[in-house]
Amino acid sequence: MTQTIDPGNPEAPTTPDGAAPRTASAAASSGGAADRAADGAAATADVRGAVPAALRRRVPKYADLAPLMQFKKPEFSRAAKLRRASTIWDLRAMAKRRTPQAPFDYTDGAAEAEITLRRAREAFLDIEFRPGILRDVSSVDLGTEILGKAARLPFGIAPTGFTRMMQSEGEYAGSRAAAAAGIPYTLSTMGTASIEDVAAAAPDGRNWFQLYLWTDRDRSLELIERAARAGNDTLMVTVDTAVAGARLRDVRNGMTIPPALTLKTVLDASYRPAWWFNFLTHEPLTFASLSRYTGTVADLINSMFDPTLTFEDLDWLRETWKGKLVVKGIQTVEDARKVVDHGADGVVLSNHGGRQLDRAPIPFHLLPDVTAALKADRSDAAVILDTGIMSGADIIAALALGADFTLIGRAYLYGLMAGGRAGVDRAIEILATDMRRTMALLGVSRISDLTPDHVRLLAK
């Protein structure tokens, strides 16, 4: 049995062949309906065939073109290039173009196969944010408190060595930018500006001092006393440098302090004359802790730093230093608990930016366990995190998982190498913008409102 289908309405009932014929009145009624349907279809076709006015071709008028013809004058200044940088990675690309290979690689590189650094950055990528909706985020406050004082942003500048080697403004640019942003600045024992000069450069800033304990305790004590007299309120002792890590980029580049003028460096300088001009026309590199040194970085570390450190030395520091004491280089839950038991006011979960032990624990992965352990101990010690941070979203993720504060090292050094003080300002601005946007999209208006519920670690 076959069926006939009305092409004007495919969904209309069909009539099987051989069925009883319709009555005349039904046929007439059906025919009238069919005529009306045909008329409607024709009208629809006419409407669909018409071209909307907005889609009709015409000769453009000058009045229409004028608003579109706003050609900007090309800008090639360093300030313009910094404004165009939207991410820390953009600043890194600028830094690489402006800085000779040896100092750039000293900043950019890590130990051995650089597995730790790569994993640390990947850890921040392997998360999922979990936003809340219908929250008032018209005003986002990035302010927080760390070690008893307010900070306008939830991060500070980490201690970095040989900083004026990366760019001639060095610690002066970093400390002044930090003071302007209302965040702490940490001067390294291996910094290329003295404790007193940094304090004078940023008298209104919050300055911290990072200490490597030397085999010569008298010299360590001298540094501690100088830091106290200069107004530093926090001492950050680094404990993950019993010996120097195998930083292979430095070995391959023949990295020395100060940089040596070899044939390779002279050729490299020809592409970066501004760096060499600044380096050669400013005061030679000096250090916060020694007047002069010539040799490789690894030799310097191995000759100065004490491989015999124990928790008894931490007890000595606690008795000697009257301000806040923070221990940097914590990589296990057990050690976090121990240093707090020995008087530390805070811990920095850090593997030295991946520059010491390759395949070391990743601070971001360690963070939830450390915060849970200290909370179980009813400790109010601050938990600070560094290593791998390259965006404001990374910082927000760390804060959500329990960090009280974070530190940036490479992220600010890329800005320094890209544009001196202005580059550091831009790095801080980029991170702050990232954080405000991320918090608003999460539905959070204050740092204190971030919780582990806002972040999910993705399974591998």
Q: Which two tokens stand for residue 319?
A: 């008795």
320 pLDDT band (50/70/90 cuts)? very high
| Contact by Cβ (8 Å): 395, 431 | yes
Percent of the chain at pLDDT above 70? 82
Does residue 377 surpass a pLDDT of 50? yes
DSSP secondary structure, 169-213, as one string: THHHHHHHHHHHHT-EEEE-TT-SS-HHHHHHHSTTSEEEEEEPP
User: Which residue in the list 282, 352, 365, 454 is annotated as catalytic?
Assistant: 352
67 pLDDT band (50/70/90 cuts)? confident
Measured distance between the N- and C-terminal CA atoms of the chain, rounded to whole angstroms:
60
Give Cα separations from 210 to 115, 213, 224, 243 (angstroms): 26, 10, 10, 17
Report pLDDT for 39.
Answer: 55
Dist. CA 190–CA 184, nearest whole Å:
18
430 pLDDT band (50/70/90 cuts)? very high
Note if the bond before 103 is cis, omega within 30 degrees: no
365 is catalytic: no
Q: Which of the 8 DSSP states describes residue 123?
A: H
Does residue 2 surpass a pLDDT of 50? no
